[in-house]
Structure formats: structure tokens, C-alpha cells
Amino acid sequence: MPERLIYFDNNDTTPMLEPVLQAMLPYYTEHYGNPASLHQLGLEAEEAVSQARTTIAGFLGAKPEELIFTGSATEANNLAILGAAYAAPDHKRHLITSKIEHSAVLNPMKRLEKEGFRVTYLDVDGQGFVSPDNLKKAMTPETLLVSIVHGNHEIGTVQDLKDLGAVCRERGVLFHTDAAQSFSKVPLNVVEDLVDLASINAHKMHGPKGVGALYVRSGVRIRKILEGAPQENNMRPGTENVPAIVGFAEAARIAFANLAADARHMATIRDRLIDQLLEIPHSHLNGPRDHRRLPSNADITFKYIEGEAILMHLSMRGVCVSSGSACSSKSLTPSNVLTAIGLKHEDAHGSIRFSFSKLNTAEEVDIAAQKVREVVELLRSMTAFVPGIHSETEGAGEGFYKKKKDEF
């Protein structure tokens, strides 16, 4: 009989909760009107979208009219970055971001570079933090936007938005944050955190896929990137995904009802896993180990073995994790996040992300930790060289490993 899967890939996507599905279903079958239509069914749909907007905006500390629903957080990031750049006056041609951003921030930045904008990619420290001083130094009179991820998708680092936001606000530069991972896991208040634009989505907090949102502080001008009918305050056209928007709000309501307790629970099992896994020789945690880490994330490097191999063997044992950023799992280039915090390429390749939701249990952690130990031992027994097994000196082992790699 197959064992129940242990799903530790919640920073990628989470299972939808039953009450969320139940909230959505009537909007597929009964309340299917187009919110733009003026008849009863249209008005019902419009009312549902409007209530959802108020609910979600409230959890961000925003006003309902400051929230634009999109098809994903990727779209929200594109809209924020491209939209701000295209709306900026001609002399504002410079943007600042960090080296640990998600591809949905980095790739729009690269696009802007091709179009003649200048982009500064800020270094981070060994735990993934952006320094407000570095940000200050990177600012120029041409700077129009700063985009720094709130909770990092890979190593869980949670930036102090307020410190970064203050640098931006002082200079009249827009501040965007990708909060897809952090929303509903750590506190985020767009007013207190001095944020002008923030991207969020539903499927990372047990809501549906296919829906995200961008907070746009009132008075901030961006240009839309999709054209059509004037939905979403004329910022995002297309018939609203009403069932998913309703599901988004329901997922947010449930998440925020027990925010502190759920975060504590996740942090407890996270630390339980980290403690057990760091007992494995030649392993280390990436990202901070304090309150400035997403409660849902543990990212651990197991030296001298390939993350892909660990992932595969864990998958065969019913444990789902990811290696590198899930979105770049198809590529063989090491994660930009891990190399930015100073990991060598071979160590970046040996890193595994364990990510939790409130549905995970301590029991799952214990089972998973045991399986990780088995897999790491197995793989290291097959690998060319591991210090402690093949030699007493770690340095020698690394040299040997590196030599092996170069032969390929």
C-alpha cells in the first residue's frame, strides 16, 4: 500500500482548503454573471468581487480601491515593474532590485534593460538581507522604482520593508515588494511598511491558482500592460475570474483568522526539521535562523551530493521537496539566490528546500527527517569523495570533488 505523501513544497503551491472550494463552487454554477452586466446576475457577481476586494485589501492595510486583481503574482510583478517604468517621466530611467529576486521580477527588469533602462542588482549579505545603506548608495536622481522581495522564495529571508521603504519614500522613489511568499505568513502592512506596490497571490495560502493581486497606493501612477475593457479601475482588463477571486478572499479570511497560531505552528515544525537535519554531517542552513525567516521555509545544503538526486530519492520515499527555485528547476544553472548569498556552485546544487503549510505535522517532520538521513547516507556512499568517509580533512575532499566536476 502506498504511504501517504508528505508534501513539503508549500512555498511552491499549497492544496486548496475545502471551505475555499465550497465558497467558489456556486460562482461556477449559479452566480455566473459577468460583473460588467447590469442585470441581477451581473450585480451579484460585481458585489462578490467588491466584497473580496475589501476583505483582501483590509488584510494588507490597504483601501479596497488600491487593489487590482490579476491572473497571477507573476502578472502583478510585471504590471508593477513595467507599469511603473512606462509611466515614469522620461528622465527617470533607473531601477533597483536585488540579486535574490524571483524570475518574475528579474525577467521584467532584464526586459527593461533591453529597452534602454538601467537596472542595479543589489548584493545581499550571507543571510540574504539587503542593506538600506547599499540601497541608499545605489539611488540616483534617475531612479524610479525599487523592487525588493519581502519573503524570499528559496531561503526564507524576510526583509525589513520599513527600513528599505523609508529610503525610497525619502527620495520620492516608488517601492515595490513581491509579497507572494510572505502574505498571510508574516505581518505586512502597506502603510506602516512604506510600500507603494505589493504583489500577492492566492495559491500559496490554500487558495485557488490563476488569481493574484497588485496593491497600488492611491496616487501612484502606473501604466497597464494588458489592454481591453476598463475592469479593475481600468488597470487590468478581462472578465474577472469571479470564483477564484471569491476563493482568494475566503482563503485570506481563513489564513488571517489564525495567523499568529498558524505561523507559530509552522515555525515549530520548521525548527524541528532544521534541528534534525543539521545533525547530518556537512549540512548547513541557508538564510537566517531567527524571527526574520519565513515560518514556512527551511533550505538546507547537503554537501558533496546533488540536490536533484536527493529530490528524486525522497520522492520515491513519498516526500515532496524542491531543489533550487521550483521555477528554474528545469534549468541546470545554479539558483541565483544561493549564489548571491555566497554558495559555491556545487553547494548550490546540493541544496534542498523544505516548505511547510499549517497542515503539516511534527510527525511528518520526523518521518521526513529520517528519510532525508537515509537518502543522504545512500548518496554519499555512492559519491566519489566525502570528507570523514574517504579522508579526515574537509579541504582535501572539496578539492577532489571540484576536480571531479571539472572533468565533465
Active site residues: 327
| 102 makes contact with other proteins (CB under 8 A) | yes
The partner residues of 118 in beta bridges, in order of sequence, read 94
Whichever of 187 and 210 has its CB closer to other proteins, that residue is 210
Sign of the alpha-carbon torsion through 400, 402, 403, 408 = positive
Q: Is the Cβ–Cβ distance between 354 and 298 less than 8 Å?
A: yes
x/- letters, 36..55, toward other proteins (CB under 8 A): xxxxxxx--x----------
Sign of the alpha-carbon torsion through 273, 279, 285, 288 = positive
| 237 makes contact with other proteins (CB under 8 A) | yes
Minimum CB separation of residue 226 from other proteins in Å reads 5
Q: Is the Cβ–Cβ distance between 152 and 287 less than 8 Å?
A: yes
For residues 240 and 31, what is the distance between their CA atoms, to the nearest angstrom? 13
Task: Give, in order, the Cα–Cα distances in Å from 305 to each of 108, 351, 380, 395, 398.
Answer: 33, 9, 6, 16, 12
How many residues sit in the footprint of other proteins (CB under 8 A)?
Answer: 79
Sign of the alpha-carbon torsion through 165, 200, 260, 284 = negative
| 367 makes contact with other proteins (CB under 8 A) | no
Site for other proteins in 14-33 (CB under 8 A): 14-16, 18, 21, 24-25, 28-30, 32-33
| 242 makes contact with other proteins (CB under 8 A) | yes
Within 220-376, strands assigned E span: 283-285, 297-302, 319-320, 322-323, 351-355
Residue from 51, 54, 107, 134 touching other proteins (CB under 8 A): that is 107
For residues 127 and 107, what is the distance between their CA atoms, to the nearest angstrom? 23
| 99 makes contact with other proteins (CB under 8 A) | no
For residues 205 and 13, what is the distance between their CA atoms, to the nearest angstrom? 8
Show Cβ contacts of residue 58 under 8 Å, excluding neighbours closer than 6 positions.
none
Minimum CB separation of residue 37 from other proteins in Å reads 5
Whichever of 111 and 217 has its CB closer to other proteins, that residue is 111
| 87 makes contact with other proteins (CB under 8 A) | no
| 143 makes contact with other proteins (CB under 8 A) | no
Q: Is the Cβ–Cβ distance between 380 and 386 less than 8 Å?
A: yes
Minimum CB separation of residue 32 from other proteins in Å reads 5
| 311 makes contact with other proteins (CB under 8 A) | yes
Minimum CB separation of residue 89 from other proteins in Å reads 15
Site for other proteins in 111-140 (CB under 8 A): 111
Site for other proteins in 200-229 (CB under 8 A): 201, 203, 208-211, 225-229
Q: Is the Cβ–Cβ distance between 174 and 145 less than 8 Å?
A: yes
Whichever of 296 and 322 has its CB closer to other proteins, that residue is 322
x/- letters, 162..201, toward other proteins (CB under 8 A): ---------------------------------------x
Site for other proteins in 53-82 (CB under 8 A): 71-75, 77-78
